[in-house]
Structure formats: structure tokens, C-alpha cells
Structure 1
Amino acid sequence: MKMDKYRFDGIFTDGREIYTTNLTPGKNVYGENLVKIENVEYRAWNPKRSKLGAMLLKGSSYFPFTQTSKVLYLGAASGTTSSHISDICIEGILYCIEFSPRSFRDLISVCEFRKNMLPILADASKPDEYSAIVGCVDVVYMDIAQREQSSIFIKNMKKYCKSGGLGIMAIKARSIDVSEKPENIFSKVKKELSGEFEVLELINLEPFEKDHASIVVRHP
């Protein structure tokens, strides 16, 4: 097997799947395949388990994560996607916000071996709760199943994202309104965010994620 660089730094492909280099060799996070080539271990990034992975495979033009990025991750859950970001931001830091105590316990287990991930048990709808810990960041990433997704994203972007920094939001249409067509909800969210930020991209995540889209914005 040969591993080639993908379209963005820190991501690789064997021609079928995408991978990140494993920051914690020998350990996987969510049952993903580990592949070792020339003394480098890679972790398969499953797009059906990660909306950011799905966004990449759907051809996104934006991936703002670098080796030194400071990232605010809202809705880190058990650490699936954030662990792949951790593989990339090896000299940066991920502030991982999670509200569910059960998911937070799993997240702590992941962060224990990944020193660039800081788990924070908090409510993302109340960004002041973690202001003593989180500083200005380069990227805000959000994956939260709440009706007021746009409002939560806007508040956190305004409080923590640097000028010119990017934000990525995974839009969960069914969490916002189960009776409305997902395409209409995606358009509504885009309109809401365009009143605050420069909208760079909106991508439907099917077939990897049904009724989901990702939107990328830039803070003024």
C-alpha cells in the first residue's frame, strides 16, 4: 500500500480512504483501521462517523487546521472527529466542549493520551462559562444537535474566533425543524450566518450524512 498526500496538509490517502498520522501509535479511538507504512502509523478517517471527514470527501475547498492551530470544538462528544484534528494540530490546542456527562467520560479517555486536547464539561449555548479557560482561537468547529444551532455558533464565533479566522458548522436539519425540507433549513442557516460573517461554502453531506450540511464562514 502507498500513502499519498491529500489536498490539505496533514491528510493522506491510499486512493480509497483518507487518513491522518496517528499521534498515539497503537491506539485507535472509535475502531478505525490503523495502517503502518515505513514506520509511520495512519488512522483511517471514516466519513460516516465524522462530518468533517464527510466534508473533505465532498470536495470542500477549506480546511483551516494546521500544526499550530488553536481550535474551539463545540460538541466534541466522545472524541471521534476531534482526535483526527488532534493528529494534525500537533503543536496547537483543541478546547473540546461537551455537555453530556456520558460522552464527556469517553472524551476524557481520549484526551488522556492526547495532550493537545483539553476536555471541558460545559454548555456551548453559554460561552461565558468557559471564558476563563478558552482564549482567542484560529478556528471554531461546531457539531451540536440543538434547535438554536445558528445562535450558539454565532455567539461562540463572536466571543472566541480571531479576526479573519474561520468557523465550520455542521448543520443538523432535523434538530432544527423535523417538518421542514432540509434544503430550506440549510438556506435559512446560510442567511442567518451571512448577516454576521462572510459565508465561504455550503456543502450537502449526503450520501455520508443524511439531512446534514456543512457551512464555512470567515470572521470579519
Structure 2
Amino acid sequence: MTDAFRGGSGNFKKGNKDFKKGNNNNNNNNNAVRKGGMWKGNNGGRGGGGPRGGGGPRGGGGPRGGGGGRGGGGGGRGGGGGRGARGGAKFGGGNNNKKNFKKDGKSGKVIVVPHRFPGVFLLKGKSDILVTKNLVPGESVYGEKRYEVMGDNEKIEYRVWNPFRSKLGACLMGGVGNMPIKPGCKVLYLGAANGTSVSHVSDMVGDEGVVYAVEFSHRSGRDLTNMSKKRSNVVPIVEDARQPIKYRMLVDMVDVVFADVAQPDQARIVAMNAHMFLKTGGWFIISIKANCVDSTAKPEVVFASEMEKLKKENCKPKEKLTLEPFHRNHAIVLGMYR
């Protein structure tokens, strides 16, 4: 049956009405085919149905089934997950249970240089990073990165100051010409929020200075109070900055008033606190958010208007700096009182 099938498949061509000649070694079969073709071509075609029945070759889909081998190849690619796992191991090994903490090691030495303003430092690298000397080593306030550097006789820990989360940090990174907040001075901080920037001001003034942090929101004030428990130079005050008389017994005369209250009457708020607490010749720093004062006017117009209001209150602006690209439509105004 196999020989007959092979002969049939060799003598048959699909789509042609006539049959091809077979091999000379099998004349009897060839004659029979010719006769069949002369008798009735159509019947001969149907008789050739043997090749169609020879679906055996198609049934030989076993090779296609061999596609299982290709599927196996997919398993090999999946093995790449193993490489990803190794990468994860490397990442996981970097923290060593000390989140956001890096040491000054031989493999990657950390270089910290003083900023041109006292109390602030720069961590040198691909880009300079603003840092302050941590007043409470081993403690982070808002999950910021910390770096430990070997000094002359002791290890010093520095905290990264993110300018995108702090108006004062953005002011320093933006190239402000003067910074009255320095070690040993007293600062009244209006709009302290959770204490993110206050903690860095605390680092700047050091143990000899004091930061009076005023925040109206009780929820933010709770976080501020918890932060101040570990920083002896921070005095948290949960009160309305529009009514400085309510906390006059807690605040001494200060060298600097910093305001980040984002209110339409923020110039008046700064002036009221300056009249009550700021020394003559002291400095004020106000962060102005244009949209909070007048959302319909251009930012430049709003900034100029606020500066005019300050002048009428004996607060003389000395410098104005926009906070782009860290904070949109924001500006810092520095000036002296009287």
C-alpha cells in the first residue's frame, strides 16, 4: 500500500486534468494510468483521490507540533527574570536598613563645601546639592537623604535640602544676593506648616539661635510640635499669624521675620508682626504666591503691588527674586525694617 501510494503521489499533479508519466521501472502501472486517463479524465482525477487521502503528510503536523520546541524557547526568555532578580538584590543591598543614609566611604567619597552664606553647605557632585548640618544626627524630618562625612576629629551628618519643597531652599539655589538668617540669630517663621523648612532654619541658626514657628492649622501644628521635641531651638506656636498679640508673650525681639502664608493680605500680616517683634534694622523675607493675591493679574504686577504695600509699612524691599523653576509664579522679597 505504501509503494502504491508513493507512486500515485509521484504521478499526480494538483490542478491539472492529465496525469504525468511515471518511471520506466514500472510500465504496467503507467499504462494503467494512461488508460484510465483516456477512458475518463474526470474519473481518473477522482481515482487519484488516493493522494488526497494521503493526508498523512498533513497529518505529519508532528513537525508543527514541534512548535513546542519554540514554546520552550519562550521559557528561556522568561529566564531573563532571573537576571532581573539579581538586579533587585543589588538594589536591596544598598540600604542596609538605613533608609536615605549614605556614608563617606572609599568607593564613593562625599565632598561637602561651605556655601557663601553661613550655616549652609553644598554637596559636590554632578550637580551641587544644598545641605545643612544636622542639628540632631541620626534623625530625618521628612524622609530627606542624609550624608555622613568625616571631619577633623568627628563625623558630621548633613541633610539634603530639597528646593522643590521649600521656598527658602529655592531662594538659596536661585542665587539670592543676601541671606540674613545665620548662626545665632532669632527668626520668626510665619506659615511653618509641618516644619519642613523650619527644620533647616533650625540647622542654620544652630544651638545659639531660636526659631519661633507659627502655624494656624492644628493638624500641621501637631507635626510641627512633634518635630520640635527633638530640636531644642524650635518654639512651636499654633496660632493665627493675623493676631500676633495672642503669642506676644512667647516671642522675643527677633532679627528676621520669614513669611510663607500664601494669603491675599500677606503683606499686612508681615507688617503687623514686624511692628511687634522685628528689631529696628532687622530683615524680613516674604514668599509671594501671585495666584493667592490676585489670580487675574500678571505675576509681575502682583509682585510690584505687594512691594508697594510693604513700603507703606516701613518695610523697605532691598531685593526681589523669582523662584523659577522650583516654584511657579512665586517670588521672594527681602528687605529691612525702618
- Alignment TM class, shorter chain as reference: over 0.9
Q: Does 1:7 align with 2:116?
A: yes
Q: Does 1:84 align with 2:200?
A: yes
C-alpha distance after superposition, 1:36-71 (max 9, x if no partner): 110110001100000000001111111112221111
Q: Does 1:204 align with 2:327?
A: no
The amino acid that maps onto 1:210 is R
- The aligned length equals 220
- Conservation of the 8 A alpha-carbon contact between 2:303 and 2:331: yes
Structure 1 window deviating more from structure 2 (45-54 vs 12-21): it is 12-21
- Equivalent position to 1:47, from 146, 163, 180: 163
Q: Does 1:219 align with 2:337?
A: yes
Partner of 2:302: 185
Q: Following the alignment from structure 1 to structure 2, what is the Cα–Cα distance between the partners of residues 2 and 202?
A: 31
Q: Following the alignment from structure 1 to structure 2, what is the Cα–Cα distance between the partners of residues 72 and 88?
A: 14
Shift of 1:180: 1.4
Partner of 1:175: 292
In terms of fraction of residues, the more helix-rich structure is 2
The amino acid that maps onto 2:271 is I
Q: What are the ranges of 5 or more consecutive residues in structure 1 without an aligned counterpart?
A: none
Q: Following the alignment from structure 1 to structure 2, what is the Cα–Cα distance between the partners of residues 211 and 102?
A: 27
- Conservation of the 8 A alpha-carbon contact between 2:133 and 2:158: yes
Shift of 1:174: 1.1
C-alpha distance after superposition, 1:70-117 (max 9, x if no partner): 111101000011100101212111111000001001101110100100
C-alpha distance after superposition, 1:3-48 (max 9, x if no partner): 0011111111123111100011111111111011101100011000
Q: Does 1:122 align with 2:239?
A: yes
The amino acid that maps onto 1:202 is K
Q: Following the alignment from structure 1 to structure 2, what is the Cα–Cα distance between the partners of residues 87 and 14?
A: 16
Partner of 1:17: 129
Structure 1 window deviating more from structure 2 (202-211 vs 176-185): it is 176-185
- Equivalent position to 2:180, from 49, 64, 67: 64
Shift of 1:194: 2.1
- Structure of larger gyration radius: 2
Shift of 1:142: 0.5
C-alpha distance after superposition, 1:129-187 (max 9, x if no partner): 11111121011000002111111011111111001100000001111111111111011
The amino acid that maps onto 1:215 is V
Structure 1 window deviating more from structure 2 (116-125 vs 174-183): it is 174-183
Secondary structure at the aligned position of 2:256 is classed as strand
Q: Does 1:154 align with 2:154?
A: no
TM-score of the superposed pair, with normalisation by structure 1: 0.98
Shift of 1:191: 1.4
Q: How does 1:133-152 map to 2 (within 5 A)?
A: 133-152=250-269
Q: Following the alignment from structure 1 to structure 2, what is the Cα–Cα distance between the partners of residues 178 and 103?
A: 26
Q: Following the alignment from structure 2 to structure 1, what is the Cα–Cα distance between the partners of residues 178 and 239?
A: 28
Secondary structure at the aligned position of 1:129 is classed as helix
Secondary structure at the aligned position of 1:24 is classed as coil
Secondary structure at the aligned position of 2:227 is classed as helix
The amino acid that maps onto 1:121 is V
Q: What are the ranges of 5 or more consecutive residues in structure 2 without an aligned counterpart?
A: 1-109
Shift of 1:193: 1.2
TM-score of the superposed pair, with normalisation by structure 2: 0.64
Q: Following the alignment from structure 1 to structure 2, what is the Cα–Cα distance between the partners of residues 67 and 197?
A: 23
Percent identical: 42
